[in-house]
Amino acid sequence: MTTSPRYPSDVVQTAVAVATGSPLAVQLLTVLLLIVAGLAYSRVLGSKGTRVPSKAVN
């Protein structure tokens, strides 16, 4: 029985385990997927941040 990763660090560890010893194409695909996942994750966190109104410059 396998469990799905719950935390980003688990995803990274799983991806590294898959890419280790794999052909270059698989390693490049893994890097690309991790970059896309990181960008998506940062966008989700960025949208939940508090909004601070900007001050008007005179």
HEC readout, 4-58: CCCCHHHHHHHHHHHHCCCCHHHHHHHHHHHHHHHHHHHHHHHHCCCCCCCCCCC
Confidence band, pLDDT 50/70/90 cuts, at residue 4:
low
pLDDT at residue number 44: 82
> 16-58, pLDDT tens digit by residue?
777 677 788 888 898 899 899 889 888 887 766 666 666 766 6
Of residues 3 and 31, more confidence is placed in 31
pLDDT at residue number 1: 44
Confidence band, pLDDT 50/70/90 cuts, at residue 12:
confident
